[in-house]
Amino acid sequence: MAACGFSSIVVRRARLSDLESIYRIEVECFGEDAFPKSYIRWFIEENSFITLVALLDDKIIGFIAGLLEVFMGRRAGHVYSIDVKPEYRGRGVGSRLLEAIEDELRRCGAEICYLEARVDNVVALNLYFKHDYRIIERLKNYYGFGRDGVRLIKNLVIE
Ligand SMILES: CC(C)(COP(=O)(O)OP(=O)(O)OC[C@H]1O[C@@H](n2cnc3c(N)ncnc32)[C@H](O)[C@@H]1OP(=O)(O)O)[C@@H](O)C(=O)NCCC(=O)NCCS
């Protein structure tokens, strides 16, 4: 696991009582492109979702949400969102969340994890490359007209 700049960070499963905090972070990170609150509720309540929060001194500073699916014929985790509050970025929280969901996905039998990112989201792409994700396809207009994405994938098991 990557060293995290905060020694006292705690990562745990999200609860319904975290909904407002998670939604505020999602809006802070993505503005009008944020997932609606009803989706965040779905991330927390739906059994096939793994939604984790990172806490510092009992305050939620980031979250990650992924769904257990079948992708390319294999049991897969699909990460829908990973957000860290701006003032806590660059100190390992994103890495900690990504590693934590990968551990949970493995425990649930997932063999691969995949996700999407905007082609111009250099910070997110760097995070994923650092964690051994590789681009498998470009997604034309995935985030709206003229806003392309890429899909990335990682093996969670040693083959
Ligand atoms: C992407 C995000 C989750 C990363 O969280 P974070 O806590 O800052 O990430 P970490 O501190 O664990 O950094 C991990 C790696 O990401 C990359 N990274 C982090 N900040 C970076 C920056 N400012 N510039 C370039 N790369 C950066 C680096 O590769 C870094 O590894 P390093 O520290 O060894 O150089 C965070 O920036 C964020 O919430 N962004 C807004 C929401 C978003 O875009 N989510 C992804 C959608 S696909």
Q: Where are the domains of the chain?
A: 10-115
Kindly report the pTM of this predicted structure: 0.96
Domain 10-115 - what CATH class?
alpha beta
**For 32-81, how does the pLDDT look when each residue is reduced to its tens digit (9 = 90+)?**
999 999 999 999 999 999 999 999 999 999 999 999 999 999 999 999 99
What count of other Cβ atoms lies within 10 Å of the Cβ of residue 20? 11
How high is the mean pLDDT of the chain? Answer: 95
**CA 93–ligand 1 middle distance (angstroms):** 8
Residues 6+ apart with CB under 8 A from 25: 60, 61, 62, 63, 83, 84, 85
CA 77 – CA 74 distance, rounded (Å):
10
Residue of 79, 80, 89 to test ligand 1 pocket, by largest number of atoms within 8 Å of CB: 89
Q: Which alpha helices (DSSP H) does the chain contain, by range?
A: 19-30, 37-45, 93-107, 122-130
Residue 2 confidence (pLDDT): 55
The upper half-sphere exposure of residue 154, i.e. CA atoms within 13 Å in the direction of its Cβ, equals 22
Query: Which residues sit with their C-beta closer than 6 Å to ligand 1?
Result: 29, 82-84, 89-95, 117, 121-124, 126-127, 130
> How would you classify the pairing of strands 49-56 and 10-13?
antiparallel
